[in-house]
Amino acid sequence: MSLPDKVVNALSDPAYHRQGNNIEAVLGHLDVTPSSEFTEFYSTYFGPFWSNSLGIELADIREDECNIGTLTEQCRSQYGFPERMLVLTQLSPGGTVHVLDTESDEVFVVDFEGGEDLLIKGELEPRWETFSDFLQDYF
């Protein structure tokens, strides 16, 4: 499946195009196999990315100090996030992070006032049904 046109158009500037797209090392280290849309997005583009519509910064998978790898490892260690989850954003001013379930491809908005417990128990409702849906709203 190809990325939505809206995403491709938003990231048409060559500054976003990833060179040497070895994201498999990060995914292997985190022991996850996300959707083809996720893999295509991060193999093609590098960030971080900013969204005017959602007002959050989407982390890069490996570049920058706060990337998906480090954010995910922090939340696994500190909060016990399940291994299948990837943390996509830093803590927002509203106290939330965006989290991808790599098995279901759903994206969640997780607060740390009980939302993390609901996520861990599998009781938190997703905000987006797929990573592709999330990207379309994001861009």
Quick one: how many helices (H) and strands (E) in the chain? 6, 5
Number of Cβ within 10 Å of residue 10's Cβ equals 17
The domain total for the chain is 1
Query: Against a cut of 0.75, is the pTM above it?
Result: yes
Question: For position 112, which CATH number holds?
Answer: 3.40.1580.10
Q: Flag whether pLDDT at 1 surpasses 70.
A: no
Which structure tokens are listed for 12? Answer: 């048409």
- pLDDT by residue (tens digit) across 30-68? 999 999 999 999 999 999 998 888 889 999 998 888 999
Q: Which domain holds residue 29?
A: 5-138
Q: Flag whether pLDDT at 19 surpasses 90.
A: no
